[in-house]
Amino acid sequence: MALSRRGFLVASAATLAATPGAIRVAWADDGFLEITARPASQKLFSNDNPPSDLWTYNGRSPGPELRVTKGERVRVRLINELDEPTSIHWHGVRIDNAMDGVAGLTQQPVPPGERFEYDFVAPDAGTYWYHAHTKSWNQVARGLYGALIVEEHEPSFDNTHDLTIVIDDWQLDEQGRFDPSGLGSLMEWSHAGRLGNWLTVNGTSIPNFMLNAGEPYRLRLINVCNARILEIDPRPLRATVLAVDGQPLAEPEPLSDKRLRLAPAQRIDLAVTPKAGRNLSLVEISARQPFTFATFAVTGSDAGSGARAAALPANLLADPDPAAAHYVILDMTGGAMGDLTDITYKGKPLTVTDIRETGQVWAFNGIANLADEPLFRVRRGKTVIVEMSNDTAFAHAMHTHGHHFRILGADGKPGAEWRDTLILEQSEKARIAFVADNPGKWLFHCHMLEHAAAGMSTWFEVV
Ligand code: C2O
Ligand code: CU
């Protein structure tokens, strides 16, 4: 079999076993869930192809799906059996700063052979995820991530109608094995980031889910790709949007074109009620050929209630007050075909040697990567507006740690959605607003992990 190196591979008929298997959650006697970061082999392409060497949580990628109820404590003991330091970030959770998992900012990375205990409350119901936050561009690309689902007090979908769909793209070699060779290359760091040639769902190729006609299902899509903005065709889904980035919409909305693009780290919760004899599918359309990466076979007649999905209960987030905001400008520059002049790295002008040896090529306000001083420092409770301008030749996916934000409209009023990650297209400007109500030092970065490593990271402090 010849695999093409560009765009997506053509879907093969010989796919892996259908239903993605749940993996064992390991509980220690003291009530901690144990998550061991370790190498393991796993088949990504088909059963007939050799397995890939991945880095996993508890032996499989994605790691165990963690499910808790809103307001519950999450206690996880990370055991590092890798050869390099690591840490876990709980993406999108409005978490206690010391538990945010950012090596070098909120904790020391956990050295090989050692452990770290995460203990926090999950304040919001919704779809979240966890991933390595030490050299993420390398560790996430190799498989270190999993889903974190926070259930409502009275979930409106039972377990058999609530499906988590963790989507990753992988660069596979001619044998259908994970190919790490491009990782860390200036080519990937300075362009669109690492883009794979194959998509998996929950670590399997093209799974087929079985759905009953006439019954509503919740599909929780999580984009864990290093850098790929997934473009999903809404037509073969016939879905309603329940939530974005974990936070419910006030009213479910039909999935429309504007919802198609799911950036790295973004989530979207969809409701579907399949009709008898009309199978559904997830089709990625960003490459030259559409790629059907999951199918849903519908069985039975339409006997179900056919009830439409109701809105999910809102989480309690503080509403920003744009009239009394601390205003921050964030100018995004650099990258291939971009302006590399006037960039400061580690307090000095960026040199050709810095570019060659450390891969720094992107900047926020002329600064590549974290400086000693934060982008801004505000008192707890203050509204912050960040005006971002993407002056680069690429799209980016900007992510705030510890806070969800609203997007300001042209009229300066906050829109309805809460997000933790926002796409900025090439040459686009956007203003986001949030109440800085979570004390600590928080990262703010592009979630295209190569861009974050190559300069598109900064931090802010809430005191
Ligand atoms: Cu998914 Cu710094 O985050
Ligand atoms: Cu970016």
Q: What is the chain's alpha carbon radius of gyration, rounded to the nearest angstrom?
A: 21
278-300 per-position pLDDT tens digit: 999 999 998 888 999 999 999 99
CA–centroid distance, residue 101 to ligand 1 (Å): 9
Cβ neighbours, 10 Å, residue 140? 25
CA of 451 to the centre of ligand 2 (A): 5
Indicate which ligand has the atom closest to the C-alpha of 388: 2
User: Based on the number of CB atoms within 10 Å of its own CB, is 429 exposed (0-12), middle (13-18) or buried (19 or more)?
Assistant: exposed
Distance 133 CA to ligand 1 centre (A): 7
Which SS3 state, helix, strand or coil, does residue 138 take? helix
Task: Report yes or no: 339 and 397 within 8 Å, Cβ to Cβ.
Answer: no
Nearest-atom index, ligand 1, CA of 92: 1
Which residue type does 204 have?
T
| Among the bound ligands, the one closest to the CA of 454 | 2
Taking CA 223 as the corner, what is the angle to CA 366 and CA 133, rounded to the nearest 5 degrees? 55
Query: How remote is the CA of residue 455 from the centroid of ligand 2, in Å?
Result: 9
Q: Which atom of ligand 1 is nearest to the CA of 445?
A: 2
Q: How far is CA 48 from CA 16, 34, 176, in A?
A: 9, 32, 9
Cα torsion angle, 411, 413, 417, 422, sign: positive
Separation of CA 396 and ligand 2 centre (Å): 4
Task: Give dist(CA 138, CA 305) in Å, integer.
Answer: 47
Kindly report the protein residue whose alpha carbon is nearest to atom 3 of ligand 1. 91
In ligand 1, the atom with minimum distance to the C-alpha of 452 is: 2
pLDDT in tens, the chain (463 residues): 233 445 566 555 344 444 444 455 667 788 899 999 999 999 999 989 999 999 999 999 999 999 999 999 999 999 999 999 999 999 999 999 999 999 999 999 999 999 999 999 999 999 999 999 999 999 999 999 999 999 999 999 999 999 999 999 999 999 999 999 999 999 999 999 999 999 999 999 999 999 999 999 999 999 999 999 999 999 999 999 999 999 999 999 999 865 679 999 999 999 999 999 999 999 999 888 899 999 999 999 876 666 677 899 999 999 999 999 999 999 999 999 998 889 999 999 999 999 999 999 999 999 999 999 999 999 999 999 999 999 999 999 999 999 999 999 999 999 999 999 999 999 999 999 999 999 999 999 999 999 999 999 999 999 9
Query: CB of 206 within 8 A of CB of 10?
Result: no
Ligand nearest to the CA of 456: 2
Vertex 402, ends 452 and 409: CA angle to 5°?
A: 80
Residue of the nearest CA to atom 1 in ligand 1? 91
Query: Whole-angstrom Cα distance, residue 77 to residue 91?
Result: 17
Closest ligand 1 atom to residue 265 Cα is 1
